[in-house]
């Protein structure tokens, strides 16, 4: 394993996206309720945020709650929402200290008011921070996001705001939740599952994928550094040949 200094001498991913999976299994293995796994997961998230700042990563996007997660038990959904709001409030001073700009993506209209208000407050108070752009995907689903973008584009064409001929990949990207955010260079999924689970489907077209067996609550800065080290050994070709990119 390389040192942080050695890792920093190689290209650092500008944007890391994370599927924080395995909280429930972590809790079960520790003889605890699922919510205890999510609470421990919130600590791991702080670790990864700090690790990202140490590396000089500029964008970090984490999958906190999918649209499909609304189908979980009422207790778990409520517990997760309360944990989310509590963490937002508790971590605000830390976000300010580190210069983290917080932003939520997803179908926020499905959230309760208290949750939306907490998000708005943290977004407003951190909006001028520039060290790390930290996106939390909550009530998020990539297919929903793409359909929603298509609807907005159709409406803007109908209203004469944009011409049909002007629709291209760049324009489409600007209608997604992640507008103004570069595509992820690296996607990390924990817990030994090899799926994308409706996460940033458009945006990860050329991302490097990294899977680890580690449950999310056990994920640490050092494990993040290992993932980045692994990323640095990949050859990103974007459809070209090895010779062409040399
Ligand atoms: C997936 O594990 C994890 C979630 C659905 C929730 C992630 C939430 C946190 C890490 C809490 C903190 C987040 C913020 C933004 C404050 P799972 O429950 O599907 O685990 P399992 O597959 O082992 O059951």
Structural domain contains residue 189: no
pLDDT for position 195: 97
Structural domain contains residue 112: yes
Task: Please indicate whether residue 69 is annotated as part of the active site.
Answer: yes
pLDDT for position 245: 83
**pLDDT tens string 137-162:** 999 999 999 999 999 999 999 999 99
pLDDT for position 39: 98
Residue 190: is its pLDDT beyond 80?
yes
Q: How far is the CA of 148 from the centre of ligand 1 (A)?
A: 25
Closest-lying ligand 1 atom to the alpha carbon of residue 26? 23
How deeply is 164 buried, as exposed, middle or buried, from its count of CB atoms within 10 A (0-12, 13-18, 19+)? Answer: exposed
Q: Computed over its alpha carbons, how large is the radius of gyration of the chain? A: 19
- Sheet of 208-211: strand order equals 100-105, 132-140, 59-66, 15-19, 186-189, 208-211
Contact between 220 and 47 under an 8 Å Cβ cutoff? The reply is: yes
CB count, 10 Å around CB of 231? 23
Contact between 214 and 190 under an 8 Å Cβ cutoff? The reply is: yes
Count structural domains, the chain.
1
Structural domain contains residue 43: yes
Range of the domain at 36: 10-142+209-230
pLDDT for position 184: 98
Task: Please indicate whether residue 156 is annotated as part of the active site.
Answer: no
**pLDDT tens string 200-217:** 999 999 999 999 999 999
**pLDDT tens string 213-234:** 999 999 999 999 999 999 999 9
Structural domain contains residue 176: no
Residue 55: is its pLDDT beyond 90?
yes
Pocket of ligand 1 (CB under 6 A): 20-25, 38, 41-42, 45, 64-65, 69, 83-84, 87, 136, 191, 216
- The single-letter DSSP state of residue 72 is S
Minimal-distance CA residue to ligand 1 atom 12 = 42
Minimal-distance CA residue to ligand 1 atom 3 = 21
Copy the structure tokens of residue 35.
């919510």
Mean predicted confidence (pLDDT) in 97-106? 98
pLDDT for position 32: 98
Contact between 43 and 1 under an 8 Å Cβ cutoff? The reply is: no
Minimal-distance CA residue to ligand 1 atom 8 = 64
Instruction: Please choose from 18, 19, 20, 82 the residue to mutate so as to test ligand 1's pocket, defined by most ligand atoms within 8 A of CB.
Output: 20
pLDDT > 90: percent of the chain: 95
Residue 6: is its pLDDT beyond 90?
yes
The gap from C-alpha 34 to its chain's centroid, in whole angstroms, comes to: 21
What CATH code is carried by the domain that includes residue 84?
3.40.1180.10
Q: How does residue 246 score in pLDDT terms, banded at 50, 70 and 90?
A: confident
**pLDDT tens string 164-181:** 999 999 999 999 999 999
């Amino acid at each position: 394993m390389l040192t942080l200094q050695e890792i920093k001498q190689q290209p650092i991913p500008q944007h890391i996206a994370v599927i924080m999976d395995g909280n429930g299994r972590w809790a079960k293995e520790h003889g605890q309720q699922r919510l205890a796994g999510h609470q421990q997961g919130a600590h791991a998230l702080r670790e990864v945020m700090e690790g990202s700042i140490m590396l000089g990563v500029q964008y970090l996007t984490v999958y906190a709650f999918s649209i499909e997660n609304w189908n979980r038990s009422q207790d778990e959904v409520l517990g997760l929402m309360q944990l989310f709001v509590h963490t937002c409030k508790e971590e605000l001073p830390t976000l300010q200290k580190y210069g983290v700009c917080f932003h939520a993506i997803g179908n926020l209209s499905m959230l309760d008011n208290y949750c939306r208000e907490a998000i708005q407050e943290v977004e407003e108070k951190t909006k001028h921070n520039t060290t790390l752009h930290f996106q939390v995907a909550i009530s998020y689903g990539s297919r929903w996001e793409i359909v929603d973008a298509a609807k907005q584009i159709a409406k803007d064409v109908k209203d004469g705001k944009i011409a049909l001929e002007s629709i291209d990949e760049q324009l489409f990207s600007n209608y997604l939740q992640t507008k103004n955010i570069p595509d992820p260079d690296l996607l990390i999924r924990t817990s030994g599952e090899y799926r994308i689970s409706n996460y940033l489907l458009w945006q990860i077209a050329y991302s490097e994928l990294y899977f680890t067996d580690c449950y999310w609550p056990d994920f640490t800065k050092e494990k993040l550094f290992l993932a980045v080290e692994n990323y640095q050994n990949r050859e990103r070709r974007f459809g070209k040949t090895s010779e062409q990119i040399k």
